[in-house]
């Protein structure tokens, strides 16, 4: 434990005895100071792992004031004092130290207090690290957290939530607002009914593990509309009583725009194929018809509905069907166009190019009857 540094702040005669106890327990005590001013300077210079400080100090600064400054520096602290009345205890608890020792105390008491303090410090650091990881992950995914207390009719948001919505807690007058305020400020009118139904459904659920997911448009403070996915769960208080809902909002505007653009492109592509005069068919890599335009189906003496979902093996002799499927799979694996000739049930001979677009869309073959 020699790498753990403890600054001792104590102007009493027993200070050197306490220093000896700390060192016998394996802690490093780089300095012993008696005033608050000295304590703050040493803490800034040394950056110790912990400060052990008497509440009653020499100098102009009292122990509580010094402790507040040290807390701002983010250094853990343990108080020690010869007496602790109610007035002093209230001030001490306001600082939230990692322990309080009443003088005189034995070395074993000092040891247990320090060990408990460092255990709590380690646990808090791990929690803070996990929270930071979670926050980073949520930031990267454009995700923000919120809570809604139905009894108080209050939404509670954090800075990340307001940032996603293009504003801040200061601009909104605080980090809480009523359901009506939230809906009017941030929810697009098209989602009013969705929000009301989902919040009600979540709160009325009997399953403690109930969750729900939905999508809707939201509006930022600057008026910009964004599309979000909302995930709801039940909110409980520390006694396990249901008090509302909590959830995560994630901005998926770009994803929605990409999907909408892809769907529009596919619809145009399908319309183009269906209206083409040339025979065109769309297959998956196993030779199953995904679609065929009117001309493609007629070239085989069929209607489009008679082909979709059926295999080439149902319309061609085995040796021909297997050759076609082999060529189709080659296109999928190489993404190169192919020229091939094959007989069909109706036409005497056809040939065509077979460019592969993607395995998710299948493969299109455009045939032209040979002369």
- The CATH architecture annotation of domain 6-135 reads 3-Layer(aba) Sandwich (3.40)
DSSP per residue, 212-250: EEEEEEEE-TTS-EEEEEEEEEEEE-TTS-EEEEEEEEE
Q: Going residue by residue through the chain (371 aa), what tens digit of pLDDT does each one get? A: 468 999 999 988 899 999 999 999 999 999 999 999 999 999 999 999 999 999 988 778 888 999 999 999 999 999 999 988 888 888 888 899 999 999 999 999 999 999 999 989 988 888 777 666 666 655 665 688 999 998 899 999 988 899 999 999 999 999 999 999 999 999 999 998 888 888 788 878 888 888 888 899 999 999 999 999 998 888 888 888 899 888 899 999 988 888 888 888 878 877 877 787 777 888 888 889 988 888 888 878 888 899 999 998 998 888 888 888 888 888 777 755 556 555 555 443 343 444 433 333 344 444 444 43
How many CB atoms neighbour CB 179 within 10 A?
17
Contact assessment for residue 150 and residue 156, using Cβ atoms and an 8 Å cutoff: no
DSSP per residue, 76-105: -EEEEES---HHHHHHHHHH--S-EEESS-
219 Rama sector, left if φ>0, alpha if ψ -120 to 50, beta otherwise: beta
- The CATH architecture annotation of domain 263-369 reads 2-Layer Sandwich (3.30)
Rounded Cα–Cα distance for residues 83 and 142 (Å): 52
3-state SS, residue 74: coil
3-state SS, residue 281: strand
Q: Do domains 6-135 and 263-369 have the same CATH topology?
A: no
Domain 141-251: give its CATH code: 3.30.450.20
Phi, psi of 355 (to 5 degrees): -75, 140
Would you list the domain boundaries of the chain?
6-135, 141-251, 263-369
């Amino acid at each position: 434990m020699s790498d753990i540094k403890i600054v001792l702040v104590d102007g009493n005669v027993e200070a050197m005895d306490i220093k000896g106890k700390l060192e016998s327990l394996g802690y490093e005590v780089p300095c012993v100071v008696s005033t608050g001013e000295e304590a703050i300077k040493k803490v800034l210079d040394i950056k110790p792992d912990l400060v052990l400080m008497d509440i009653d100090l020499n100098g102009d600064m009292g122990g509580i004031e010094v402790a507040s400054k040290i807390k701002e520096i983010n250094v853990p602290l343990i108080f020690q004092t010869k007496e602790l009345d109610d007035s002093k205890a209230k001030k001490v608890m306001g600082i939230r130290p990692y322990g309080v020792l009443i003088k005189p105390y034995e070395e074993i008491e000092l040891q247990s207090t320090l060990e408990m303090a460092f255990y709590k410090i380690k646990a808090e650091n791990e929690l803070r690290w996990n929270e930071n990881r979670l926050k980073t992950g949520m930031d990267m995914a454009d995700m923000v957290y919120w809570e809604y207390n139905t009894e108080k009719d209050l939404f509670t948001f954090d800075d990340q939530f307001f940032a996603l919505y293009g504003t801040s807690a200061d601009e909104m007058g605080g980090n809480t607002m009523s359901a009506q305020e939230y809906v009017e400020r941030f929810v697009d009118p098209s989602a009013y009914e969705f929000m009301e139904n989902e919040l009600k459904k979540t709160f009325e659920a009997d399953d403690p593990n109930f969750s729900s997911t939905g999508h809707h448009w939201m509006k930022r403070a600057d008026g910009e509309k964004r599309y979000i996915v909302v995930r709801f769960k039940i909110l409980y208080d520390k006694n396990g009583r249901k008090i509302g809902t909590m959830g995560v909002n994630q901005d998926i505007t770009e994803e929605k725009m990409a999907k909408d653009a892809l769907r529009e492109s596919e619809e145009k592509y399908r319309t183009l194929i269906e209206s083409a005069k040339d025979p065109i068919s769309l297959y998956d890599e196993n030779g199953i018809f995904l679609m065929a335009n009117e001309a493609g189906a007629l070239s085989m003496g069929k209607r489009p509905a008679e082909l979709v979902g059926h295999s080439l093996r149902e319309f061609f002799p085995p040796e021909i069907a297997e050759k076609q499927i082999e060529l189709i799979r080659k296109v999928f694996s190489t993404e190169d166009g192919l020229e091939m000739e094959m007989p069909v049930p109706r036409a005497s001979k056809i040939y065509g190019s077979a460019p592969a677009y993607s395995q998710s869309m299948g493969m299109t073959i455009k045939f032209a009857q040979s002369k």
